[in-house]
């Protein structure tokens, strides 16, 4: 055999092996990049049971038995469509522990997703090995995620419509990593820039495919963000707080990206066993799960946080479920449970003839409250398309009363807000919904009201005392994101 032929054959064989290997790698990577999907049920709902901080330790037989009993109770009682495990699941030993915990979900036949905590790889399995095992289990819908970004377990789950194959909502899972190498900077690690870039790319892709409209999304990870401190003790925060928020001391910008991309409406974490509260910050719900494992510390009854989405709605209901009861019912975006008694809905009216826009009365004077207006003696009156401060002739010391009708598209609970400098009050159907009165710098106040579909009387009063004049009036509902009230909703008789 001549040397050239010999070299050619060897080169061909090596090349074939190389390219076959590359194709196999591409095939594996393609499979890894496949996005799992689930679907809303016939009632257009999708229920998730979040379990967190199980801290399984085989040596604690009684505690393990109690944990399994509690999980089975929640699954049988709530009948979730998905289980989300948000970290610190198994302490020791890895193989026996993961097999014991996962058997509960595989036996129940309920799909489950996993994101890891700071303790999960402290035994004899790495994060990669944990996911290698999980990927062999029936019902597991997670993935290791892209190999070129930080962490193991960054992936998306699509929720399809009940009636077609269209994606209606998204569930993001992040690896919040474990510990910072430099304790002078932070004890706990954070979700890194490359993970955030991955999320932004995914979000942009889904939004583009949905005609430029973000899909409602939830995010699950283990270690809370710094922003969880912002909702502590706030009026619309519900639940218990018996320890600090043990977040990273670095804000890498994930929350800012959630705000920017406008799809994630709620985040669900664990880590802090003695916190189970939920609140809203910058239009995003921040929720702790319920400590689920009898082997971990904590004073709360062991249980699960339940989250129920409704197809087509930018909102969800959530509550805590234990073996004793269900409590802390909470709704996003309203900050409290959204159920309203039928008698509490304000009735609509059906006027014979309406015109676009609002009517207004303009006043001048040094007012400290909207109640100071000389209502019987306006300087001028007229019509306007919307809440317009350009109607004022004076730079300071004036007031405007806007009145007319607001057309509500469908029956439901609505949240309204005013952002004003100085004072404002909003009445709907004769009910004071937003009280932002008084002389003050620009500030926001909000309130909720249950409304029948149709026309409702609307009255808004605003005054400017001195320096700076600002007025913005907006609304949201369970089906619509927050926005300023458009001209198309404002009328007068």
Residue 19 is assigned to a structural domain of this protein:
no
User: Are 323 and 417 members of one domain?
Assistant: no
Q: Tell me what pLDDT residue 339 has.
A: 75
Per residue in 354-372, pLDDT (tens digit) is 999 999 999 999 999 999 9
Q: How many domains does the chain have?
A: 2
Residue 97 is assigned to a structural domain of this protein:
yes
Q: Which of 312, 339, 366 is the last residue of a domain?
A: 339
Helices 193-209 + 254-261 axis angle, to 10: 10
Look at the block and give the residue holding tokens 């509500």: 408
Task: Give the chain's residues under pLDDT 50.
Answer: 1-33
User: Are 191 and 287 members of one domain?
Assistant: yes
**Sign of the four-CA dihedral 139, 278, 248, 200:** positive
User: Are 359 and 326 members of one domain?
Assistant: no
Residue 416 is assigned to a structural domain of this protein:
yes
Residue 16 is assigned to a structural domain of this protein:
no
Region for residue 446 given its phi and psi (left: phi exceeds 0; alpha: psi -120 to 50; beta: otherwise)? beta
User: Are 310 and 243 members of one domain?
Assistant: yes
List the Cα angle 156/99/85 in 5-degree steps.
35
Residue 7 is assigned to a structural domain of this protein:
no
Tokens standing for residue 64: 């393990």
Sorted by sequence, the CB contacts under 8 Å of residue 98 that are 6+ apart come out as 89, 90, 125, 130, 133, 134
Q: Which of 296, 311, 339 is the last residue of a domain?
A: 339
How far apart CA 287 and CA 304 sit, in angstroms, is: 12
Residue 29 is assigned to a structural domain of this protein:
no
The CATH number of whichever domain residue 383 belongs to comes to: 2.60.120.1560
CA separation, residue 266 to residues 114, 219, 289, 309 (Å): 17, 6, 12, 11
H-run or E-run covering 106: helix 94-108
User: Are 282 and 421 members of one domain?
Assistant: no
User: Are 363 and 309 members of one domain?
Assistant: no
The CATH number of whichever domain residue 48 belongs to comes to: 3.60.21.10
User: Are 272 and 421 members of one domain?
Assistant: no
User: Are 95 and 243 members of one domain?
Assistant: yes
Residue 273 is assigned to a structural domain of this protein:
yes
Tokens standing for residue 229: 């401190």
User: Are 380 and 415 members of one domain?
Assistant: yes
* Contact yes or no for 359/404 (Cβ under 8 A): yes
Nearest to 245 by CA among 214, 219, 267, 218: 267
**Which structural domain, as residue segments, surrounds residue 261?**
34-339
Q: Which of 339, 366, 385 is the last residue of a domain?
A: 339
Beta bridge partners of 356: 491
User: Are 299 and 363 members of one domain?
Assistant: no
Tokens standing for residue 182: 């430099």
Q: Tell me what pLDDT residue 99 has.
A: 97
Q: Tell me what pLDDT residue 21 has.
A: 46
* Contact yes or no for 438/473 (Cβ under 8 A): no
User: Are 335 and 369 members of one domain?
Assistant: no
How far apart CA 151 and CA 174 sit, in angstroms, is: 8
**Entry pTM:** 0.85
Residue 165 is assigned to a structural domain of this protein:
yes
C-alpha 342 chain-centroid distance: 28
User: Are 253 and 294 members of one domain?
Assistant: yes
Q: Tell me what pLDDT residue 77 has.
A: 98
Residues in the chain: 493
H-run or E-run covering 282: none
Per residue in 72-84, pLDDT (tens digit) is 999 999 999 999 9
């Amino acid at each position: 055999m001549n040397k050239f032929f010999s070299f050619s054959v060897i080169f061909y064989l090596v090349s074939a092996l190389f390219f076959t290997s590359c194709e196999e790698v591409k095939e594996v990577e393609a499979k890894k990049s496949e996005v799992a999907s689930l679907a809303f049920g016939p009632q257009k709902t999708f229920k998730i049971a979040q379990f967190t901080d199980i801290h399984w330790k085989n040596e604690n037989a009684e505690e393990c038995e109690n944990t399994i009993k509690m999980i089975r109770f929640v699954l049988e009682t709530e009948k979730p469509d998905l289980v989300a495990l948000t970290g610190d699941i198994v302490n020791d030993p890895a193989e026996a522990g993961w097999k014991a915990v996962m058997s509960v979900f595989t036996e129940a036949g309920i799909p489950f997703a996993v994101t890891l905590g700071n303790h999960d790889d402290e035994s004899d399995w790495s994060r990669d090995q944990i996911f290698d095992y999980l990927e062999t289990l029936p019902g597991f819908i997670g993935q290791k995620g892209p190999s070129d970004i930080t962490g193991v377990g960054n992936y998306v789950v699509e929720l399809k419509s009940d009636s077609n194959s269209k994606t209606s909502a998204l569930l993001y899972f992040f690896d919040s990593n474990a510990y910072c190498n430099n304790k002078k900077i932070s004890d706990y690690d954070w979700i890194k820039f490359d993970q955030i870039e991955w999320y932004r790319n995914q979000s942009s892709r889904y939004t583009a495919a949905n005609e430029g409209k973000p899909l409602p999304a939830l995010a699950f990870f283990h270690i809370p963000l710094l922003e969880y401190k912002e909702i502590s003790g706030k009026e619309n925060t519900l639940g218990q707080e018996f320890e600090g928020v043990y977040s990273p001391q670095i804000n890498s910008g994930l929350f800012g990206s959630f705000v920017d991309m406008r799809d994630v409406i709620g985040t669900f974490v664990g880590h802090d066993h003695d916190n189970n509260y939920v609140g809203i910050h910058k239009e995003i719900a921040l929720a702790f799960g319920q400590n689920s494992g009898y082997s971990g510390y904590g004073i709360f009854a062991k249980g699960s946080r339940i989250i129920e989405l409704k197809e087509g709605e930018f909102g969800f209901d959530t509550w805590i479920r234990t073996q004793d009861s269900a409590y802390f019912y909470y709704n996003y975006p309203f900050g409290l449970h959204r159920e309203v008694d039928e008698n509490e809905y304000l009735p609509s009216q059906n006027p014979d003839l309406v015109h676009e826009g609002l009517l207004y009365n303009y006043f001048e004077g040094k007012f400290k409250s909207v109640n100071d207006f000389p209502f019987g003696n306006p300087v001028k009156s007229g019509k306007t398309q919307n809440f317009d401060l350009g109607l004022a002739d004076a730079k300071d010391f004036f007031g405007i009363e806007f009145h007319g009708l607001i057309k509500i598209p469908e029956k439901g609970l609505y949240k309204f807000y005013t952002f004003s400098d100085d004072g404002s009050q909003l009445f709907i159907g004769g009910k004071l919904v937003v009280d932002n009165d008084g002389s003050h710098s620009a500030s926001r106040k909000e309130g909720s009201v249950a409304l029948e579909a149709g026309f409702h009387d609307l009255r808004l009063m605003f005054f400017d005392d001195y320096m700076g004049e600002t007025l913005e009036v907006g609304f949201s509902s369970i089906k619509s994101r927050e926005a300023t009230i458009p001209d198309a909703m404002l009328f007068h008789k």
